[in-house]
Structure formats: C-alpha cells, structure tokens
Structure 1
Amino acid sequence: MKNRKVIFLLTMALMVTGCVLKEDTQQKEEKEEIITESQIDTEQEGSTPEVEEPKIYMGQVLDTNETDGEINVYDINSYKGNIIGTLEDYEEVELIETVPFGWFKVRLEDGSEGYAEAISIRTEEIPPHEYNKDSSEYVLIFTHEDQTLKIFKNGDLVKESLGSSGVWDSFTPKGIFEIEDGRRGEWSYIERFGVGLKYWVGFRWIYLFHSTPFDKDGNIIVEEAEKIGEPASHGCIRLPVDAAKYIYDNIPVGSIVLIY
C-alpha cells in the first residue's frame, strides 16, 4: 500500500513538471515569434524604398548632309534658331526628348540643352512622346525591329506591309515626322544609285516611302525586291509596289509618321 502511494506521488510530480516544461517552451516560442515580428516591422519601417533610375537614351551623330562631318545644335527646333553648339560625326549625345517634326532635344557635355535634327542622329531607341495612331486622320508607323509598316485611319489599322529601312551606315532616321507638301511622284530615277522608284512620298528632306527598286527601263530589280523585310535601303523606306501606291494615292500632306 505504501509503495503504491509513493508511485502515485512520483507520477503526479512528473506530470506537473511536464506541464511546467510545456508551458515554458510554449511561452518561449511565443516570445520568439513576437520578437521576430517586431524585428520585421522595425526593418520595414527603417528601410528605404528603391528608386528606379530614369532611362538614358543615347544617339550617335552622323552627318547625312555629307558636308563637313558635323551637325549644329539649335536653341529651338528650327533652322531659324541660334546655334548653341556643334556635334561631330560618331560623337555620342544624350537624347532627352523626341520632338516634332524631325528633331531631338539633346543634352550636351557641358549640361546645356538644345535641338538637333533626327536625320543626323542614329539610335537604337528614342525617348517617349505623346504621338500615337490617333494623332491624325492617317498615321503611318514603321518599326525597325520587325521591318513593318502599319497604316492607321482614324485609329483603325487599314494597311500593313513589310518594308526595308536603311542599313546602319545609311540609316533611316527615327522619330516624329509628317508627310511633306510637294514631295510626291509616280516615278523617279536616281543616277547616283542606279535605281528607279515608283510612288514616292517624302516625310523628311531626302527621306521617302517608295517602291522596291526598278532599273532604268522600268523593270523591277528582283534581288532588291527579295530583301523586303530586312534593312537594305540607302535610308528611305522601301515597300512593295501596292503599299507604296496606297500611300501615294491616299495619305494626305500633314499625316503623322512615327518611326521606331
């Protein structure tokens, strides 16, 4: 009887000790959890959010006038502005804004800002702008990446075609342009390049939309026509005859041209 009493008392003692240990362990875990959450809150409150650096757009100068190997930078986007600096061939310059029609706002090495012609700056990307497919009744958008021209009327796609931009050393300028007045013809033969063009329409100085090349007798040059869909021109945008004719017949002066 005495032994049973001893065993009972020992059992009760072990049970009480186990409960105490269990409570101590649970309290310790809860305490650690509170500390951990507190640390996280403190770290979050004290952390500084990452600020995304603004993207920098760079271009390279190439004097497409082929005169003295440099271009002028003006205080406004016009030849009538004052010249505030010059950039030499192959010099890099920061592009800070894409400006209509055919200009970039640039930042010079001394930090001053001015305007340079887009036809003299080749670049992989242009700074963002607000023009889009709804910017005029007709909008023509050519993309170098896929060598594709899309023509929109009142925001709706009405014609799409592969084309050919200029090769890197005689690049097609990127930026915001417009179909120019008095720059349109059914046929022209360029002695310098030994090629004929059908249905040409100008969007900036010597730069045109036109058909794939023809020879002097009016025969299509097959090997050149087969290059549609890849850079191949002297800077103009070549198109199949039907696409060039569509522009010639339908696209009015002042229509927006976006080239990326």
Structure 2
Amino acid sequence: MTGAAMQLPVILLPGIITPADITYRYLLPQFEGPATVIARDLAIYANGAPPSDYSLDTEVDAILNAVDEAGFERFHIGGFSGGGAISAAFAARHPHRLASLALMEPAWFGNEDQSEDEIAVREAVEATESLPYAGMLAAFAQLNVADDVEIPAPPAGDPPDWMEHRPAGIFALGPACRDHTLDLGALRSLNAPALYIRGGRSNPAMYLRMQERAARLFSDFTVEIFEDRHHFDPPHRSEPERTAELLLSFWERAEARLPA
C-alpha cells in the first residue's frame, strides 16, 4: 500500500441491489490501516421498502446527517452504480464538504448534454421498467455491458433475505434520477479532485459518454479503465488490490491539496 495514514474518512456507497458490506467485501480489507473507510448502505432501504416520496435528495440528506453526527467536517465520497449517482448528487449539493469524489460506473450523471447514443440507451433502460421484474432485470443488465458480453444466469436457489425490497428499489431509482437536477455549476466549482473508474467491457454508450461529460466539468479529473471488467464484474470485486491502490493514491493526493 501507499504511504502514511490518511486523516479524513471515506464514505463508499453501493449500487441499488447489493448491500454495502457485500459489494465491498473484497475491497475493504485492503484499506485496514491506511484509511478509515465506511461502507454505507443506501437510505432507500432504511425502513425496508422504499418510501413513496423517494428521491436522490433522500440519499443526500441521509449522508449529510450521518457525517454531521459523526463530526466529519470534510471527507472523501465514492460510489458504484446507483451509489455513484448519489455521490455525484451529494457533490453538487455540498461541494465544500468533499475532499474528493470517486465515481465507479455511476448509474447516472445528470440529464444535461447527453449524446444521441446515451439518450437511446437511457430510453431503452426506461422502457425496461414496464416489464415484470425478471424480464426487466435481464434486459437492464444487458444494456449495461458491451454487445459481446454474456452475463451469467443468477445463482440457483432462494434469494437472500435482503433481496426482498430490491426490486422496488430498482424501480424507484430510475425515476429518482430522471427527476433530479444535477447542479453542473456546483460540480464545475468543485475544489477537489474527481476520479472516474470504468470497465472496458461495459456499454460505452453509457459509461464512456458519462466519462466524457464528467471530463468537461471537473478541473482535476482522472480516469482509470479496467479493460477486462464490466458493470457486473466490477474492479472492486475482481481486482480489489489494484482498485485499493488506485483509490488510496487518489485520496492521499487529494489530502495533499487541502489547506494546512
């Protein structure tokens, strides 16, 4: 691992399906010692089923309350998929609280300035929401990866207990993203580095296009591509050592930029 222990805490958010401790179970042990990393579950499931008035602000407010209660004045934030979308929304609402922003194939990065191919994929994703859950999940999954990627069938047997409210969560997140206005001006003014991680086998019409839009916004922007990975075989699961080295180096560089 890299040099001295970091001073600021890190909040990592999972996607909309898998809980944080499972999402990052291979990554978190890599941080023991150098960093205080908190893998935080999404607020959408805080009371079981998603609330009827769920929005990205629900998540932003929950993060703000948690870090205020913990006494974290400034911290690093990062997230995968839905957690990446929420991280971007938090950065736009509270940029002064962040030491850095890490986006790991965010599910969404605002509704502005999308290219034609990204719009087409977004419309196809929205169309899956009218399907029964099993059909929706299969169609949605295929839209997230490159055309030549075969996604394995789900494991046989009964789903784990935590899956109970996940279908409703998936159906709630899409509209929440579409209804949210990402403050691009606030992101442009972010006085902290941003990192974008994507898999080379993920759908470029989604994840490359979001990368390109992010690159036009952030003044300090780094991209890391894991060529053999995709959205359902992500770097934090399949290459945790490399991912941890990358994140630790990024966070340490971010802290070196902070005022003394």
Larger radius of gyration: 1
Q: Normalising by structure 2, report the TM-score.
A: 0.24
Q: Identify, as 1 or 2, the structure richer in helix.
A: 2
Structure with greater contact order relative to length (CA < 8 Å, sep ≥ 6):
2
